[in-house]
Amino acid sequence: MARGRRAAPVAPLAQRDGVDPVRIRLPADPDGAWRTVGDHLLERFGGAIGAERVAEMLRQGRFVGTDGPAAPHEPYTAGRYLWFHRDFAAEERVPFEVGVVHRDERLVVADKPHFLATTPRGRHVTETALARLRRDLGLPELQPAHRLDRLTAGLALFVVRSGDRGAYQTLFRDRLVRKEYEAVAPYDPEVALPVTVRSRIEKERGVPAAREVAGEPNSESRIELLEHRDGIGRYRLVPATGRTHQLRVHMNSLGLPILNDPLYPVVRTDEPLRDRDYSRPLQLLARALEFTDPLTGREHRFESRLRLAAW
């Protein structure tokens, strides 16, 4: 029987502003290109961080192993683990709070507001639901079980103990979580509802909007009209799959683009405002999560306390 890879040691650096340090493992060096730790780190991060900044971080002892800070002239050792904190760029605070719908010894179910990322990614690091909850609730091990799109508000499930995370992630991977969304979009009496939309959605890296293409469907959404008035409708959306922007793409394909969507049907060109025009939140809400707890067998149903402003 093959032996599994040995687990990484515990990070010697504490979180900063609710964000974990970056962990790296020094790779094998068959050509002997890296005589010292500094040689490798300058090559590895010089392009992204800048060679001068990497050298300064080394002088400051900011690359830390289990035996203390790594000196730039230490001999290179493949397999060694190091940790460091990136420099956080100043981030504009998203002016909405994260609500806590449920909390126990295993789970935190949060109401994520519009415009707040779920987890650190790209230019959103400290201004994320995960970092805020870790700080506000004093739960440094908190981990997301799934990810909710930054422009979508509503329920996001977090796991209190990192060792439990895999069990809850598996629920989402195996589609054992029933998710209900609510949206406000134009009302068109010519669109026959309810309907199940199936299509193939592809999202190219670096391209803001996803698109439907010919081929075997990889996405499925159930769309129902709940009520309508004054030319707009309130819709229940039940996804069976979880492709990027799936619900937004499927509503748009029906000729019912969700109100205030900056990507569908047309990508807004005023990019500085597109993602943070706080007066025009995307009218899409993760309304409910329903599942059987994989560790306790308990049946859970959680409902958001948020409401869509356009309704």
Amino acid at 25: R
Q: Are strands 232-239 and 219-229 parallel, antiparallel or unpaired?
A: antiparallel
Alpha-carbon distance of 262 to 274, in angstroms, equals 6
**Selection from 221, 281, 287 nearest residue 251 by Cα:** 221
Catalytic residue, candidates 20, 111, 149, 164: 149
Retrieve residue 177's tokens: 């979580």
Q: For residue 101, give Cα distances in angstroms to 1, 176, 257, 261.
A: 44, 21, 29, 26
Encoding tokens for residue 279?
């007066």
Amino acid at 103: R
Provide the sign of the torsion angle of the four alpha carbons 144, 147, 150, 152, taken in this order. negative
Phi, psi of 39 (to 5 degrees): -55, -45
Rounded CA separation 203/188 (Å): 28
**Does the annotation mark 149 as catalytic?**
yes
The Cα 185–Cα 308 span in angstroms is: 11
Active site residues: 149
